[in-house]
Amino acid sequence: MNGLKKFYMNDKIVVPVFAVITSLFIAAIVMIMIGKNPLMAYGALIFGAFGTKGALINNLMKTTPLILTGLSVGLGFRAGLFNIGANGQLIIGALLSTYVGSKMIAYPFYLSIPLMLVTGMIGGALWAAIAGWLKVARGAHEVITTIMLNYIAVFIANYVVNGPFQAPGGVPKSPEIAYSARLPILATSGATWLSAGIFVALAAVVVVYILVEKTKLGYEVKAVGFNPYAAEYGGISIGKNVVMAMAISGALAGLAGTMQVMGVYYRYLGALGGSMGFDGITIALIGQNDPIGIAFAAFLISSIRAGSNQMQIAGVSKNIVIIIQGIIIFLVAANRLVKTFMFWKRKEVEGA
């Protein structure tokens, strides 16, 4: 029994922890190679992430959408789907909710806020459901379709904020959402603030946890993801659950975009999505698709991202963070490599 438990621990915790540590270590070697002091750089990173009130606020602000994209990708993985399209879903969700939000000047907050949340989720869900449908009906792999949908979403967004949905004044951006649709601000420091969006993200963690662990739908989605043959044997529809899982995954990504609108920019801007979709993959893999694990992983990645600005000031390009993430994903993909390494080490110990 103990052995079984250990094995489980190995898989779920050891692999991501090993991956994170190894990637930080490799990045440190890179820094040494270019003549930078990795301790200084990581020191700056930690300071940049937690060192001041402003840093912490900034960090939590960045954590908000990352939790949501992490949940989005993680839920997809649970259903056996690789949703690489969180970026596109985020954009469509944000665009749609911004449009609705900009039309609600006369609405009280208790209408405008829920309406925006819902439209953001619907936008992302519909966009992702296209990929789900293409998979079920046409057998098209979701990786290619969601990536294509990402590009199309970017073009759509660029089109509308450069024309039909453009705010006056040269820069391509949408009009602002209604004041009533802004999320309340919890803390401010200088030019950054933390909105109540963090609570929305944490609520999503709970909802996804319940959905996955406590509902019929979660049961079906997981069965399809783990073993479609057994699911079919048990009378569970594979097609319906693939589309559903994709839609929910997209809704979470759409919500991430909507949080950026309602809590940070108050309008649609081109840069609003950033690399959050891809970050979601890293986060889901580190969090091992577990909602609570994802929340922590999102905070970790957000800290690295937030701290990287300070690191850049200390002289190390913040692109190193992308390298770190790439290595983490790579090591989680090649988890046999990690396991081989771990077993090899253990054998050595046993042999000695």
Partner 1 sequence: MNAWIQAIINVFVNPIFYKSTLNQSTPLILAALGGVYSETTGVVNIALEGIMLIGAFGGVVGSYFTGNPWYGLALGVLLGVSMAALHAWASIRYAGDQIISGAALILLAQGITGFSLVELFGKPGSTDLVRSIPLVNLGSFGNVPFFGKIFNSLSPLVYIAFASVAFSWFLIYKTRLGLRMRSVGNNPEAADTLGVNVYNVRYFGVLMSGVFAALGGAFLSIGELGQFTENMSNGRGFIALAAMIIGNWSPTGAMWAAILFGAASAFNDQLQSQGILHLAINTQYLFGMIPYIITLIVVGGLVGKSRAPSADGIPYIKD
Partner 2 sequence: MGKTDKKDYSEYAVVMEKIVKRFPGVLANDHVDLFVKKGEIHAIVGENGAGKTTLMNQLYGLLNSDSGKIYINGEEVKIKNPNDAIKAKIGMVHQHFMLVDRLSVVENIVLGMEPVYGPFFARDKARKQISELSQKFGLFVEPDAIIEDLPVGIQQRVEIIKVLYRGAEILILDEPTAVLTPQETDELFKILGALKAQGKTIIFITHKLHEVMAITDSVTVMQLGKVTGVVKTSDTNPRALARMMVGREVLLRVEKGEAKIGKKILRVENLHVNENRGLEAVKGLDFSVNQGEIVGIAGVAGNGQTELIEAITGLRKVEEGQVIFKGIDATNFSPKRRRDMGMGHIPEDRLKHGLVAAFPLYYNFILGKHDDPRFCDGEFLKISDIKKFSNALVKRFDVRPPLINLLGANLSGGNQQKVIVAREFSFNPDFMAISQPTRGLDIGAIEFIHKSIISMRDQGVGVLLVSMELEEIFSLSDRILVMYEGQIMGEVTPQETTTEEVGLMMAGHKLEDLRAQEA
Q: Of 9, 230, 292, 334, which lies in the binding site for partner 2, with binding defined by CB under 8 A?
A: 230
Our CB check for partner 1 shows the closer of 158 and 227 to be: 158
- The reply on whether position 222 binds partner 2 by CB under 8 A is yes
User: Does residue 238 contact residue 224 with C-beta atoms inside 8 Å?
Assistant: yes
Our CB check for partner 1 shows the closer of 7 and 159 to be: 159
Burial tier of 294 (Cβ tally within 10 Å: 0-12, 13-18, 19+) = buried
Among residues 228, 220, 226, 208, the alpha carbon closest in space to that of 244 is found at: 220
Q: How far is the CB of 218 from partner 2 (least distance, A)?
A: 8
Distance CA(344)–CA(352), nearest Å, equals: 12
Q: Which two tokens stand for residue 104?
A: 């609600």
Q: How far is the CB of 215 from partner 1 (least distance, A)?
A: 27
Q: 292-321 mask for partner 2 (x: CB under 8 A)?
A: ------------------------------
Distance CA(45)–CA(320), nearest Å, equals: 11
Q: Of 226, 341, 343, 344, which lies in the binding site for partner 2, with binding defined by CB under 8 A?
A: 226
Q: 1-40 mask for partner 2 (x: CB under 8 A)?
A: x--x------------------------------------
Binding partner selected for residue 206 from partner 2, partner 1, none, CB under the kind-specific 5 to 8 Å limit: none
Contacts of 131 (CB under 8 A, 6+ apart): 83, 85, 140, 142, 145, 146, 149, 246
Q: How far is the CB of 73 from partner 2 (least distance, A)?
A: 19
The contact set with partner 1 (CB under 8 A) reads 30, 34, 82, 84, 134, 138-141, 143-145, 147-149, 151-152, 155-156, 158-159, 162-163, 278, 281-282, 285, 317, 319-330, 332-337, 340
For partner 2 (CB under 8 A), the number of binding residues is 22
Q: Mark residue 183 as left, alpha or beta (left: phi above 0; alpha: psi -120 to 50; beta: remaining).
A: beta
- The reply on whether position 214 binds partner 2 by CB under 8 A is yes
Our CB check for partner 2 shows the closer of 110 and 229 to be: 229
Q: What's the first-to-final CA gap in the chain, in angstroms? A: 25
Binding partner selected for residue 61 from partner 2, partner 1, none, CB under the kind-specific 5 to 8 Å limit: none
Distance CA(185)–CA(179), nearest Å, equals: 13
Our CB check for partner 1 shows the closer of 8 and 151 to be: 151
User: Does residue 271 contact residue 93 with C-beta atoms inside 8 Å?
Assistant: no
Distance CA(57)–CA(221), nearest Å, equals: 36
- Supply the DSSP symbol for 48: H
Question: Which residues in this chain contact partner 2 in the complex, by CB under 8 A?
Answer: 1, 4, 213-220, 222-223, 226-227, 229-236
